[in-house]
Structure 1
């Protein structure tokens, strides 16, 4: 019997750090506001999409893919509160180019040929995955034992969309198996196929529900920006050296023979390269700042503020200031109370 899994917040900073703590490198999670091509193009490579929606019981007559054992990693969700982490794992474990790290690599090797129910049991009993997941729970001792997603007891659920081989799959741990949404032609962009599927699902619920959340697991933007910046620096240095009559390594920097034969054109290229470098440096700084804020927010999420609050109340009580504040709050009109806050 596995230990309990707690509810965690749906947030790209939470999910990015969760992935890193499991041991996966070179990715981050970004929130999406659109599935238009122009919105997705700057985020590539995109390894999969995570979709959050309000779950409701419904009949799904779509056929279950039968070619998944040993091909698509699919696990049943056998415990509550784990669907966010399970959707993330569904993408990570189906992305052959990712650096999974020792823990997840060993897990995948062991579980790969098992049926979905056994895969689900392995996830639920993984001490490492459960501990990382639970590390993002708010340390609130005042939570009720039966935690609800909202005041009406509505349940929200995460599923994954991921390309694998020549197909696009919807992976929902509450379903019997993967749903094969589309066959991908060689060289086709799987994002062109996933956009209609997500839009159709949102339209199906649009009359009664507007609360959706869509995130993407993408390549680490810091690494991509650093690589682009280094390439521009190499190109700038090669041009400067070539114009000075030195052996510049210009060919390795991506400069063509035609460019090298025109010193004036090379000189004119330098300001553009410098401008691009400045832009890349600004973007890289923004990414580092975003990571810093994500980490700071995650630290705050884990911190238990209850002792501080109790300490403040005790201090106010000992100095005779608590009761007057309580009486004041009782006599205030709701509108005045909001203004006081």
Structure 2
């Protein structure tokens, strides 16, 4: 679609997705990476508003559960993906626009998008999203700096493609939001005493197990409430409780100290994310060329190459002996 322009590929990284959400103008949330899908993994991250799952895309794969095409589509924000490379942003936006948690402030851009396009069918929603200059600009600002420009080539038949989808609970049922489908995939109800995350865990595990043994190209991230905001709220509650009771205990002081340490950790993590984003966007090519010129002028380039070749050879020999 010409009017939507080019959309870049996005790295599956919690820092990238957290910065992307901030670029949309959304407040009160961040993205955390899940290193495992074991029971209890979400305990320290609640509330979890949605899961973003990256997997190797298989053409013509049929969904294991029914695709929603009835009246529910009017209440669930689902947008068809109508442009290449937009699946990461569509997964995130679909999860956010289906979230009604008080922690989540959508901001003016996504609020306007939801109000404007909620009455549209999924394809028209996808077209509206793809033509948003703000959303496309935020998406493309996450692109890594490329050292060299290559002519575009058509994807080959054997080339692996990867795809992002979202999982969330809406009105007591778990849905998979995949922009390449005709509608949300209904994965069934969440019991009255159940947590939706306990329902979705076996669904994701089953999906991973359908791939060949040794396949490791999966990534799972969670959209959660801003951790710093949560910890600050907990400190405020403890202080208010202390003021009402008129007494302080060692347990309360220790808990406040622990929460302050967690806040410091979150500040350090967000600072690291910003540094990594700067590095992703920085063009290191002039530095590399200058360094190679200096090394060549000082006649150090060939000796360094020979030394590196020798080290690689020794490592290979060591591995062969083992």
* TM-score calculated relative to the size of structure 2: 0.87
Cα distance change, pair 323–15 in 1 and its aligned pair in 2 (3 A): same
Structure 2 residue runs of 5 or longer lacking an equivalent are 318-322
- Residue 286, structure 1, aligned to residue 292, structure 2: no
Residue of structure 2 aligned with 1:156, choices 162, 165, 175: 162
Partner of 1:90: 94
Deviation at 1:92, TM superposition (A): 0.6
What is the CA–CA distance in structure 2 between the aligned matches of 1:143 and 1:38, rounded to whole Å? 45
What is the CA–CA distance in structure 2 between the aligned matches of 1:43 and 1:58, rounded to whole Å? 35
Cα distance change, pair 318–305 in 1 and its aligned pair in 2 (3 A): same
Deviation at 1:301, TM superposition (A): 0.9
What is the CA–CA distance in structure 2 between the aligned matches of 1:106 and 1:277, rounded to whole Å? 39
Matches of residues 101-116 of structure 1 in structure 2 within 5 Å?
101-116=107-122
Residue of structure 2 aligned with 1:6, choices 2, 8, 14: 8
Cα distance change, pair 211–116 in 1 and its aligned pair in 2 (3 A): same
Determine helix, strand or coil for the equivalent of 1:205. coil
- Residue 73, structure 1, aligned to residue 77, structure 2: yes
CA offset digits 1:104-141 (Å, max 9, x no partner): 11111111111111211222221111111111111214
Deviation at 1:198, TM superposition (A): 0.7
Cα distance change, pair 283–75 in 1 and its aligned pair in 2 (3 A): same
What is the CA–CA distance in structure 1 between the aligned matches of 2:182 and 2:123, rounded to whole Å? 9
Residue of structure 2 aligned with 1:297, choices 276, 298, 314: 276
Determine helix, strand or coil for the equivalent of 2:22. helix
Matches of residues 229-308 of structure 1 in structure 2 within 5 Å?
229-239=235-245, 242=246, 270-308=249-287
Contact 2:73–2:183 (8 Å) recurs in 1: no
Contact 1:160–1:171 (8 Å) recurs in 2: yes
Partner of 2:174: 168
Of the two structures, which has the highest relative contact order with CA contacts closer than 8 Å and spacing of 6 or more?
2
Deviation at 1:279, TM superposition (A): 1.0
- Residue 138, structure 1, aligned to residue 144, structure 2: yes
Contact 1:7–1:81 (8 Å) recurs in 2: yes
What is the CA–CA distance in structure 2 between the aligned matches of 1:73 and 1:114, rounded to whole Å? 10
Cα distance change, pair 333–277 in 1 and its aligned pair in 2 (3 A): closer
- Larger CA Rg, structure 1 vs 2: 1
CA offset digits 1:282-314 (Å, max 9, x no partner): 111111111111111111111111111122223
Structure 1 residue runs of 5 or longer lacking an equivalent are 244-268
What is the CA–CA distance in structure 2 between the aligned matches of 1:42 and 1:149, rounded to whole Å? 41
What is the CA–CA distance in structure 2 between the aligned matches of 1:235 and 1:108, rounded to whole Å? 39
CA offset digits 1:30-70 (Å, max 9, x no partner): 11133444221221111110011111124315422123432
